[in-house]
Structure 1
Amino acid sequence: MTAKKFITTIKQIPVGQGGFLIGQIEDEHSRIFTYAFDCGSINREHFEQGLKMCALQKIDILFVSHLDVDHVSGIDALAAQVQIDMVVLPCLDALHLTMIACEAAGNSTLRLSTQSFLTDPFGWLVDRGVKEIIQVQRADDTLNVIPYEPDPEAQPDSIIVPVPEGGDPSRPYTIRSEMVEEAKSVRSGAGTVRTLGEHTSISVEVKGKSIPSWLLVPYVHPFPKEAIASFRRAVGKQFPHTFAGAFTGIKSLY
């Protein structure tokens, strides 16, 4: 029997100071799975040049590692050109969003679109055609933290994340997690958002194989408690005076 061909390609798109990576996993018959990792740059001209190299019609999953401007500022332009079905984010809260907004404003890099994204990231993404948003919880910093290393053939404690109503049941990947919250509607059902536990994996299956051919493991490293405490103290002294009312729209997402 002839072995099935299995091809993976990864391209780091040149965008200057920022991040934009595209990967594809396919078999000999058809495109199976396309993903991107971050999408942004502090240099708009460099990003636009890099975006011209992105000749895709659809991205199955966009992974956003963190929300610094140089990693998210290009999502708007990407979504205008390519259909993005799902976005995987680290679990968001008001403190994290405020930290990013303060850093961006302090560096004079907070564009209007980025400010809108930080104000309501779920609605912002759905307005740009994203159908599903997954939040992955941060690891517990009270433990000896190591990235999750799942067994692709046996995950007895994991739950298969169901495809939301209206989603594509034939999609070529399976999401598993130790904890799966109910999906919440965004923009009157135009999209959904769901929170998963820190032990989450996404397996990509190629037709004719009995085990996952590719395993993606989104992992959110914990914030050091000392750094968070220091930030709170600094904000308590400066935020009311320096940024009075600038980011009042930022809401808690827990």
Structure 2
Amino acid sequence: MQVKMVQHAVGQGGLFSGELRTQRTSWRWVYDCGSNQRDALRREIKITASCGDIDMLFLSHLDSDHVSGVDELLCQVRVREVVLPYLNESMVLAIMAREASSGALSGMFIEATNDLASWFGSRGVETITFLGGSDDDGGEGPILPIDLSDDGDEDGYVPEWTQPPRLMTELVADPNRVQGRSDRVAAMQQVVAGATIQLMTPKGAINWALIPYVHLPGTKLMRAFERALEDEFGTPLDKKAIMANAKDPHVRDKLRDCYDALWLDHNLVTMTLYCGPLASKRGKVSLSRYHFHDSWEQAIGGWMLTGDACWFPRGTEPVRRIISIEN
């Protein structure tokens, strides 16, 4: 088994790609695709796309920068599955409010979030998977019920969620408000918090996993935001209508005012991703900014991608459980 991981230089933002190869097959994943330095992002997207199809694209969060970057990536390469943090209509409106407050809210972001299945499906994505998360009180660690195989690395493997996905019922576009919907619609599914990706062979799991963890806002914070929405837009609150009309300057002004209820210096919903071994083993490791470089024998390490997570002590408990897996 050989694993290659690259942290792409895109400036303020992030783009990471990884590939796992055995004698029979390969599997590629990407984490994040956004930056405020557009030239650097375009350059690295082109490099990433030139390496072939992407099996899974993990997005730490949705905002206008990410939607724009993902749109560019999907125009150049096929992505089979997109993994997003769990979102409901209140969370999407909170993201819109933050974008509006900073002047970054884009028409493409509004269109995408009003019909994610159609937006991603029209760009070739087959499946959107929403990962459940934990609020500010933390949560449990990863669910890893599958034993590792000592001799399965050379067989073909299949990536599998360790918990069965179920159909997604939130964020389903209102057919009365969506016009000109694409015929290609991505399937939407949800997995519970703690679900991970393990690479399965006929003999067991390969010693490599992708373990995402979603940080969700606290219930008190979201309730305060919903009260602000009710004060601005009245009751009963039609969240789908607000999302659909977010291009209206008056609606954006109201959303901007609502953001005061949950002002944050980091993203409201974000996803951390660990990619690495589950058991400590030695192997050939190389680390360099160049394509040709030496390697040395040592314990194989993983990579923790944090996105825009807020690293306060309680919220890192589940992540520390991930880190402690190896020892």
The alignment's TM-score, normalised by the length of structure 1, stands at: 0.75
User: Which of 157, 161, 178 matches 1:175?
Assistant: 161
Residue in 1 aligned with 2:26? 32
- Cα 1:200–1:212, aligned 2, differ >3 Å: closer, same or farther? same
Note the aligned Cα RMSD (angstroms). 3.0
Q: Write the deviation string for residues 139-197 of structure 1: whole angstroms up to 9, x where unpaired.
A: 3x49762432524318xxxxxxxxxxxxxxx87312221x5324789966753111222
User: How do 1:29-68 and structure 2 match up within 5 A?
Assistant: 29-54=23-48, 55-68=50-63
Q: Indicate which of 4, 11, 20 corresponds to 2:15.
A: 20
**SS across alignment from 1:74:** helix
3-state SS of the aligned residue for 2:162? Answer: strand
Give the Cα separation in 2 of the matches to 1:9 and 1:130.
24
Task: Show the counterpart of 2:70.
Answer: 75
Measured in 2, the distance between the counterparts of 1:171 and 1:85 equals: 16
Is 2:206 the counterpart of 1:221?
Answer: no
1:2-151 to 2 correspondences below 5 Å: 6-27=1-22, 29-54=23-48, 55-139=50-134, 141=135, 145-151=139-145
Describe the shift of the 1:236–1:146 C-alpha distance in structure 2 as closer, same or farther (beyond 3 A).
Answer: same
In the alignment, is the contact (CA less than 8 A) between 1:88 and 1:135 conserved in 2? yes
Q: Paired residue for 2:243? A: 247
- Secondary structure of 2:32 counterpart: strand
Aligned residue type for 1:202: I
Quote the residue 2:256 is aligned against: none
Give the superposition deviation at 1:42: 2.2
**Higher mean C-alpha deviation, range 38-47 or range 125-134:** 38-47
Number of matched residues? 222
Post-superposition offset of 1:30? 4.9
Residue 128 of structure 1 aligns to a residue in which SS? coil
As a proportion of its length, which structure holds more helix? 2
**Mapped contact 1:26–1:33 kept (Cα < 8 A):** yes
CA distance in 1, matches of 2:140, 2:10: 31
Q: Is the 1:64–1:72 Cα contact (8 Å) retained in structure 2?
A: no
The worse-fitting range, judged by mean Cα deviation, of 228-237 and 89-98 is 228-237
Residue 190 to residue 124, structure 1, CA distance change in 2 (3 Å): closer
- Helix, strand or coil for the counterpart of 1:92? coil
Q: Distance in 1 between matches of 2:186 and 2:37?
A: 31
> Gapped runs of 5+ residues in structure 1?
1-5, 155-169
CA distance in structure 1 between the aligned counterparts of 2:126 and 2:243, rounded to whole angstroms? 26
Could you tell me which of 188, 191, 195 is aligned with 2:190? 195
Q: Which residue of 2 aligns with 1:3?
A: none
Whole-Å Cα distance in 2 between the matches of residues 191 and 182 of structure 1? 12
Answer yes or no: is the 8 Å Cα contact 1:33–1:204 preserved in 2: no
Deviation at 1:79, TM superposition (A): 0.2
Q: Tell me: CA distance 1:128–1:197, structure 2 relative to 1, closer, same or farther (3 Å).
A: same
After the TM superposition, list the runs of 4 or more consecutive aligned residues in structure 1 that deviate by more than 6 angstroms: 183-186
TM-score (norm 2): 0.59
Amino acid at match of 2:104: T
**Gaps spanning 5+ residues in structure 2: where?**
149-155, 174-181, 235-240, 247-327
* Structure with bigger gyration radius: 2
